[in-house]
Structure 1
Amino acid sequence: FYLVVSRFRYYQNVCTVSYSFVWWDWPRWEKEIDWMALNGINLPLAFTGQEALWQEVYRALGLNESELEEFFSGPAFLAWNRMANMDKFGGPLPQSWHVNQLYLQFKILERMRAFGMIPVLPAFSGNVPKGILRLYPKANVTRLGPWAHFNCSFSCSYILDPRDPLFLQIGTLYLSEVVKQFGTDHIYNTDTFNEMTPPSSDPTYLSAVSHSVFASMTAVDPNAIWLMQGWLFFSNQTFWKPPQIQALLHGVPLGRMIVLDLFAEADPVFTYTESFYGQPFIWCMLNNFGGNNGFFGTVESINSGPFKALHFPNSTLVGIGMTPEGIEQNPVIYELMSELAWRKEPVNLAKWVSLYAVRRYGGMNDNLTAAWKLLFTSVYNCTIPGYVNHNHSPLVRRPSFRMRTDLWYEPADLFEAWKLFMEAAPSFMSKETFQYDLVDVTRQVLQVLTSSFYQDIADAFANKKMPELLTAGGVLVYDLLPELNRLLSSNQNFLLGTWLERAQSKALNEREAQLYDMNARNQVTLWGPSGEILDYANKQWGGLIEDYYAQRWGLFVQTLVECLDRGLPYKQDTFNQAVFQVEQGFIYNGRKYPTKPQGDTYEIAHRIFLKYYPQAMKRLQ
C-alpha cells in the first residue's frame, strides 16, 4: 500500500505502508492523514475497502463464494494479493471485514479530499480468481510461476491477458464500481507483473498489455492517468531491458502515466531509462523493507537525489515521494524527506540535524546535538551503492552459522551517541519523543552487541571451547535479550500487545479474532505457512523478543552445547526442523501480551548502560 509525496508544480505527494496500516482504526487513519496534510502530501494512495467491490464484481460475473474465498488472502497479506503475488493464505476474509473496510474507506476519502489531496484509487491489472476459467474456459489466462518461496498452493496467480476482450469487460466493470462508490480524482494505480515474469518478452506484446490496461481506465474515465510502480524494472533487470521497458511505457500516451521510481535513493531507474523514456516520474525514497526496527538511512543520497533528478537531461520529474513498506520507525528520515519537498536545493545536513534535535525535544542540549550529528554521519548515512537493509541482524534472524554481521558504519559512533543520550536523560525524560529515542538508541546498541555475542558463540563452537560457549550464550540468552525485552516493554511504541490487540479488535467473534491474531503474528515472524519469507517483516517489540527471538536463541545455544558435549557435528537442517516448532508455536500460543508500558524506561536503560557500555567499548579496543 503506497502513497506518493511531493512538490515540483504538477503532482505533490508521499508513500506508505504495506505493513503498518492493516489494523488501523479510524482515529489512527485520521492521525496519519493529518500528518500528511501538515507535511504537504497531496497524492496518497487510497486502497482500503477495494476487496468489497471486487467481491461484488465477481459475484455479478457468476463466481461462487468458495471461489472468492480461494482468491482473497488474509488481511496481513492483502498488499501482495492485490499485486498478484499470492492468493488465499491467511484467509478467507470474513464478510464483516469487507463491510468494516468499506466504511473506513469512505471516511478516509472524505478526510483526504477535505485537505485538497488527490486520492489514488485502484484499477484492474489482470489478476483474476481461478474460477474465471470455469465461467470463461476460452479466456486467455496464464498461470504465472510461484512468487518468492511460496508453492503454487498459495501463489502462481492467474493473469488474464489484457488483449482478451474479457479484460476490458472486467476492468470497466470494476472501475465503474470504484468511481460509483468512491468518486474520482482521475488518477488510478495498478501494477502489472510486480516481481512476476511476464509470459513474453516481445516488445509488441508488452506495449499491447499497457495499452489495454490503460484502455480499461479510459473507457470509464476519459481523463484517467495511470500511476504505476517502477519497482518491476529494478527487481527483474534480467527481463526488463531497454526495449521491454520502453515498450511497456509507450503503450500509454506520454503524460498519461506517472511512474514511481520506487527505490531512487539507492538505485534510481530514471538514470538508465532516459527519464522513463518521456513518461513523468516521481523520485521516491523507500528506506525500509518490511517495516523493520533498526536504524538505517542514506541521508546524503536522500538530500541530493531529488535535485539531481530535477536537473537530469530532459528530466520528466514531477514530484518526490516516500514509498516505505512500513512506517513507525526511523522518524528522522521521514522528517528529512518530507521537508525536502519544500526546498529548492539540498539542506546543510549538519545544520539540519542540529535544528532537528531542538525541534524534537523542545530545547537546546549540547549532548543531544552532538549525538544526532554522530548518528547522521554514521548509521543514518549508508553510502554503499545499492545497499538494501532488511535488517539482517542476527538478533532477528533464525540462528545459523551463515548470518550477516556486517555494518555500514562504525559502532563506536553509535556507542558514543548512546552515552550522550544517557547523560542528557535526567533532564529530558518528561518528553515523549526523548523517551522513544532513548529506547530506540539503546535497542540499536543491543542489536549490535547481539552480533558480537553471536560471533563469540560461533568462535567458541568452532574451537570446541565449552566454557566460552556457555559464557557467551548465557549472557545473550539470559541477560541481554531479557533486558532488551524489558526495555521495549517500557514504551508504548514497542509493544507486541498493541499490534495483536489492534488485529483482534477488527473481529466480531472468536473465530475472526483467531484468524486476525494468526495473520498478525505470522506476518512479523514466519511470513507464510512454512516460513516462505522468514523474518522479512521482523520487529523488535516487547513480548516478541521474549517469546520468539529469545526462544530461538536459547534452542540454538542448547543445541551447540549438546553437539560439543557429545562430539557431534551441528546440522542446520535438523535445527531448522526443531526451531520451526518454536516459531509455529508462537503463532498459535494464544498468549495475551501487555498493551500498556511496564517498568521505568530510564531505570532500565541506565542499568543496561552500566552493564553493557564498558563491554561495548572493550570490544572496540
Structure 2
Amino acid sequence: MQVFKTSVLLTFVLLCCFVCIFGDGFHSTLGHLKAQASPQIQAQAATGVIKRLIPDKAELFQVTVDPRLGPVGKDTFKVLKENGQDRVNLVGTSGVAAVWGFHHYLKYYCFCHVSWDSDQLSLPEKLPPVNITVTSVDRFRYYQNVCTTSYSFVWWGWPRWEREIDWMALNGINLALAFTGQEAIWQRVYLKLNLTQTDISRHLSGPAFLAWLRMGNMRGFGGPLPNSWHSQSLALQHRILARMRELGIVPVLPAFAGHVAQAFKRVYPNTSLTLMADWNHFSDEYCCPYLLEPTDPMFKTVGNMFISELVAEFGTNHVYSCDTFNEMTPHTSNVTYLSAVSSAVFSAMTDVDPSAVWLKQNWVFVHDVIFWTTDKVKAFISAVPIGRMIILDLQSELYPQYKRLHSYYGQPFIWCMLHNFGGTLGLYGSVENINMGVFDGRSLENGTMIGTGLTPEGINQNYVVYDLMNEMAWRAEPANLTEWFSAYVRRRYGTVDDHVNKAWQLLKSGVYNFTGLRKVRGKYVICRRPSLELRQWVWYNTTELAVAWDELLSASSQFHSAANYRHDLVDVTRQALQVLGGDLHNIIVSAFRKGNLTNFRQNTQLFQNLLNDLDVLLGSNEDFLLGHWLEAAKALGTTASEKQLYEYNARNQITLWGPHGEIVDYANKQWAGVVSHYFLPRWSLFLSALNNSLATGIPFNQSHTAEQIFKEVEEPFTLDTTVFPTSPQGDSIAIATDIHARWRSHFVARRPLRRFRHYRGRATLGIFPPRSRVFSLNTEVA
C-alpha cells in the first residue's frame, strides 16, 4: 500500500512538473509557433512601438527581451521602476510581451488609455514606481475574423496597419491573421494552371468582398481586381509580416480550402468537381465556385502549388487558415467524405510545410448545428492529428461549442469573443458572459483551451468590450465589473467624475449586459429597408439608457476637450435617437393601420426630423463620417476607373451588399452621409407611399414600394460619386445638448421602465439581475 501511495504521489508530482514545463500539453505540436526573430530585433521593434506612442517620453522606458523569463509556452513580462530611478525597465519573453507590459503599466499605474477611437496619454510628470511580473494564463492571444479584412481593413495603407500592429502588441496579441496579398498568389497559380487572365478576372471579387471569395461563398462581384491592386497588396503584406515577426507576433497565412474558379472545369474537364451551393441567393454570375473533390489528384496539385508559391513569396511561421464549408452545407453527410475533405486540406499544407498547423474557425459548426452533429464534427476535425489543428470557438461569449463538442475531441481551441457582425454600430456587449465565460472554458475537465481571442467581423465600435476581453488573457479570476468600469472611465477620460461614472455603470448593467440567446446583428429599425413589419427589439432597460445619456451630458463642461468623451457622447446620443426612431416607427405603423392621418403625419415629420438630427450629430465627430471610408477607397486607385471601382465597392458593401441587395443592410453604418443620403431618402419615400395610401384609400403595396426604393435610392447611392466631408462639422457637445433638449421628453413618454430578457426564444418582462445562462448549455443543439 505504501508503495502504491508513493507511486501515485510520484505520478502527481511528475504531472505537475509536466504542466509547469509544457503548459497546456500541446508544446510538442504547437511549441514551434512562437517568435523567431532574435531578442535584439524584438527589443528594437518593441522600442519602436513605445516611440510611436509617446515620442517625448520614450527614453524613460528600457526594453529587454529574455525568452527565459517565464514558463515555456506562455508569455511573461516584468515591469520594474524603483524609487529614485527615472527609467522603467521592461523585460518580456518576446517583443509582444515587453510591449504588453508597457501597456499594462500605462493602464494601471499611469491611468492612460489606448484605443481604436482616441488615446489618452497624460502621463504623470514623475513616473510611479512598480515591481510586477505577469504571466499569460494561456499560450495564445488571437486576433481577427476572416471577415475583418473586408469590413474594416480593406482600404488601409501602411500607416493604419502599423498603428493596428502596435495595438496588437500593446494588448499582448501573439497570433493574428495575415491574409493580405493572397489574390496575387492565386493569380500566379491559376496562370501556371493554364487559366486565362479573363478567367481569373471573372473569378476574383472586388476588394470589399474578398473575404467571401476566399471562403468559396461567391466570386467575381465588385471586380475585376486591377494589377495595381496586386502590386500594392504584395508590398503591403511584406511590411505587415516583417513588423509582426519583428515583434514576435505569429502571422497566420491562408491555405487552400478546395475552392477553384469555374473556368477550372473547362481547362480540366476530367477532374472531379462539385458546384458549391447558392449562398444568399446570389445569381449565377457571382455565385458558386467549384469544390475539388478531395480524392482527385488535382486537389493535392493545386493545394501544393498555392502553399509553395505563398511560402516562396512570404516565408512562413507554419500556421495556416482556411474554411471549406463556411455557411454552406456539404453535398453529402457521409462522415467518410467529411473526413477526406479535412485530411486533403491538411495534407496540402504539410506536403509543402511538414510543420504546418491548421487554424480553423468553428463558424460552420455554429451556423448549421442541424447538419454538423457531433459525429460529423468529430469525423471532420479528427482527420487531422491531435494538436495540429487549432479551433477558434468563434462566438464563445454567446454560442460556445466546446462543451457540445467535448473540447473538440482533443484538438486545442481558443475561446473567442465575436461580438460584432458587419462592422455595424450600436451599443452592445455581453460583459457578464465574457467575465465568467473564459474561466468556464479553462475549467473544463480534460479541457483543451489554449488561448483567448478577438474575432469581430468589424472593429471601431464598443471599445469597452474589447478592452475587457483583452484582459482575460492575464486575469486568474473574473474582474469586479463595477470597479473595472469605473477604472475604465478614469483611464479613457483622464480623470474621475461622478456623472460619467454613473453613466457607465448604467451602461454596464444595461446595454452592455446582453445575456440571452437571441442573435444580435446590428439591424436596428432606422438602418433597415423600410417596412411595416419591422419590430423594435431591445434587451435592456431603455430608461436607464436615457439616464446614462443625462449623466454623460452633465459632465460636458469638465470633459469638453477630451476626444474620447466627445466620441462617447455622440455614440450614446446616437443610441438614444436609434431607440426613439424605433419607437416612432411603431407609432407610425399603428396610426397607419388605424387610418389616423393626423397622427400619422405628425409622427412622420418627427421621424424625418430625428434622422436629420442624427446626421448632423454624426457629422460633428470624425469617427462617424462616411467621407473617411470613401476617400480611403479611392486613394488606392491609380486611375480614374480604379477609383470609381473601389468607390462602388465601398458604397455597395455598407448598403446593398450585392448587386440586388442580396444581404441588404447587413453591414450598415450609422455615419453622417449614409443617414442623409441613404437611410433618410429610403424612409421618406416609404412614408410618402404610406401617406398616399391613407389619403387615397388605395391599399399600400410593400413589394412595389421596396422596388421603388431600390431603383430610386439604394442602387443610385452605390453608383453615386458625391464627395462627403472628411472633417467634422460643428461642435459635438453643443449639438448633443440641443438634441437632448428637444428629444429627451419623447424618450421618457414612450419607453416605460422595462427590460426584455430572451431565453430559448421566450421573452419575459421585468427587471432581472444579470445572470448568464449561456455557459450552462450542454445540449446537442442550443
Answer yes or no: same fold by TM over 0.5: yes
Q: Which amino acid aligns with 1:427?
A: Q
Contact 2:489-2:500 at 8 Å conserved across structures: yes
In 1, the alpha carbon distance for the partners of 2:484 and 2:175 equals: 26
Q: Which amino acid aligns with 1:305?
A: G
Q: Does 1:407 align with 2:535?
A: no
Show the counterpart of 1:301: 433
SS state at 1:44 partner? strand
Equivalent residue runs for 1:129-528 within 5 Å: 129-385=261-517, 387-477=518-608, 479-528=609-658
Show the counterpart of 1:10: 139
Q: TM-score, normalised by structure 1?
A: 0.98
In 2, the alpha carbon distance for the partners of 1:490 and 1:513 equals: 27
Query: Paired residue for 1:578, among 677, 688, 708?
Result: 708
Equivalent residue runs for 1:42-191 within 5 Å: 42-191=174-323
* CA displacement 1:584-606 (0-9 Å, x = unmatched): 11111211101111111111111
SS state at 1:371 partner? helix
Q: Does 1:559 align with 2:722?
A: no
Moved over 4 A (4+): none
In 1, the alpha carbon distance for the partners of 2:736 and 2:238 equals: 44
Q: Give the C-alpha shift of residue 476 in structure 1.
A: 1.2
* CA displacement 1:511-551 (0-9 Å, x = unmatched): 00110000000000000000000100010000110000000
Q: Give the C-alpha shift of residue 309 in structure 1.
A: 0.5
* CA displacement 1:5-47 (0-9 Å, x = unmatched): 9954433322251401100111110111100000000000000
In 1, the alpha carbon distance for the partners of 2:681 and 2:445 equals: 54
In 2, the alpha carbon distance for the partners of 1:163 and 1:213 equals: 11
Q: Which amino acid aligns with 1:365?
A: D
Higher deviation after alignment, 126-135 or 514-523:
126-135
Contact 1:13-1:320 at 8 Å conserved across structures: yes
In 1, the alpha carbon distance for the partners of 2:137 and 2:392 equals: 15
Show the counterpart of 1:543: 673
Q: Which amino acid aligns with 2:288?
A: C
In 2, the alpha carbon distance for the partners of 1:393 and 1:219 equals: 48
Contact 2:138-2:452 at 8 Å conserved across structures: no
Q: Which amino acid aligns with 1:559?
A: A
In 2, the alpha carbon distance for the partners of 1:578 and 1:78 equals: 30
In 2, the alpha carbon distance for the partners of 1:507 and 1:610 equals: 44
Q: Which amino acid aligns with 1:264?
A: S
Contact 2:611-2:676 at 8 Å conserved across structures: yes
In 2, the alpha carbon distance for the partners of 1:197 and 1:8 equals: 36
In 2, the alpha carbon distance for the partners of 1:417 and 1:126 equals: 50
In 2, the alpha carbon distance for the partners of 1:613 and 1:185 equals: 55
In 1, the alpha carbon distance for the partners of 2:264 and 2:685 equals: 47
In 1, the alpha carbon distance for the partners of 2:316 and 2:190 equals: 22
Q: Give the C-alpha shift of residue 390 in structure 1.
A: 1.1
In 1, the alpha carbon distance for the partners of 2:560 and 2:230 equals: 43
Q: Give the C-alpha shift of residue 190 in structure 1.
A: 1.0
In 2, the alpha carbon distance for the partners of 1:10 and 1:590 equals: 48
SS state at 2:390 partner? strand
The percent of aligned pairs where both chains have the same amino acid is: 48
In 2, the alpha carbon distance for the partners of 1:319 and 1:426 equals: 43
Contact 2:523-2:666 at 8 Å conserved across structures: no
In 1, the alpha carbon distance for the partners of 2:299 and 2:245 equals: 31
Q: Which amino acid aligns with 2:233?
A: Q
Q: TM-score, normalised by structure 2?
A: 0.78
Q: Give the C-alpha shift of residue 306 in structure 1.
A: 1.0
In 1, the alpha carbon distance for the partners of 2:688 and 2:391 equals: 51
Structure 2: gaps spanning 5 or more residues: 1-73, 76-135, 753-782
Q: Give the C-alpha shift of residue 152 in structure 1.
A: 2.3
Q: Give the C-alpha shift of residue 93 in structure 1.
A: 0.5
Q: Which amino acid aligns with 1:10?
A: R
Contact 1:299-1:333 at 8 Å conserved across structures: yes
* CA displacement 1:541-565 (0-9 Å, x = unmatched): 0011000000011111111110000
Contact 2:137-2:476 at 8 Å conserved across structures: no
Q: Which amino acid aligns with 2:475?
A: R
Contact 1:210-1:248 at 8 Å conserved across structures: yes
Aligned length: 615
In 1, the alpha carbon distance for the partners of 2:283 and 2:361 equals: 25
Contact 1:13-1:40 at 8 Å conserved across structures: no
Between Structure 1 and Structure 2, whose CA radius of gyration is higher?
A: 2
Contact 2:320-2:356 at 8 Å conserved across structures: yes
In 2, the alpha carbon distance for the partners of 1:507 and 1:252 equals: 42
In 2, the alpha carbon distance for the partners of 1:209 and 1:487 equals: 51
Q: Which amino acid aligns with 2:622?
A: Q
Q: Does 1:596 align with 2:596?
A: no
SS state at 2:251 partner? coil
* CA displacement 1:438-491 (0-9 Å, x = unmatched): 1000000000000011011101101101111111001111x2111110110011
In 2, the alpha carbon distance for the partners of 1:520 and 1:406 equals: 29
In 1, the alpha carbon distance for the partners of 2:142 and 2:322 equals: 17
Q: What is the alpha-carbon root mean square deviation over aligned residues?
A: 1.1
In 2, the alpha carbon distance for the partners of 1:12 and 1:218 equals: 24
SS state at 2:590 partner? helix
Structure 1: gaps spanning 5 or more residues: none
* CA displacement 1:201-256 (0-9 Å, x = unmatched): 11111111111111111111111000001100111112111111000011100000
In 1, the alpha carbon distance for the partners of 2:433 and 2:190 equals: 45
Contact 2:654-2:667 at 8 Å conserved across structures: yes
SS state at 2:360 partner? strand
* CA displacement 1:114-173 (0-9 Å, x = unmatched): 110000001100110111112211111100120022122211221111221111111111
SS state at 1:148 partner? coil
In 1, the alpha carbon distance for the partners of 2:137 and 2:223 equals: 42
Q: Give the C-alpha shift of residue 426 in structure 1.
A: 1.4
* CA displacement 1:163-189 (0-9 Å, x = unmatched): 211111111111011111111111110
In 1, the alpha carbon distance for the partners of 2:751 and 2:349 equals: 59
Q: Which amino acid aligns with 2:333?
A: S
Q: Which amino acid aligns with 2:208?
A: A
Q: Which amino acid aligns with 1:231?
A: W
